[in-house]
Amino acid sequence: QVELVESGGGLVQPGGSLRLSCAASGSIFSINAMGWSRQAPGKERELLARITNTGSTNYAGSVKGRFTISRDNAKNTVYLQMNSLKPEDTAVYYCNLWQRVDSADRTYWGKGTLVTVSS
């Protein structure tokens, strides 16, 4: 059993910043990667950022240059620093974890934290 708990969401003005955190716990053996996804009302979930066990990162084009993902492996924690926020960034943000179990890569999801960008 893997539990992912997000925190740091809230209301912010356009152009502002927020820092999201996600702590993983439970049956964690070997993490391949952690990351962040989001889902806006009426839209599909979108993968935003990912950081692998080797430290490699990638970003969706919609957030590249504005968002930064980082990690603390000792605490099984991942962060998302969000700068220059736009109204279209309003969404529920989800933490993801990818782990290899019995030779299969499995994906886990947190319950989400709401980010609202509005003046």
Q: Residue 77: is its pLDDT beyond 90?
A: yes
Q: What is the pLDDT of residue 74?
A: 87
Q: What is the pLDDT of residue 96?
A: 97
3-state secondary structure string across the chain: CEEEEEECCEEECCCCCEEEEEEEEECCCCEEEEEEEEECCCCCCEEEEEEECCCCEEECCCCCCCEEEEEEHHHCEEEEEECCCCHHHCEEEEEEEEEEECCEEEEEECCCEEEEECC
Average of per-residue pLDDT across 25-30: 90
Q: What is the pLDDT of residue 30?
A: 84
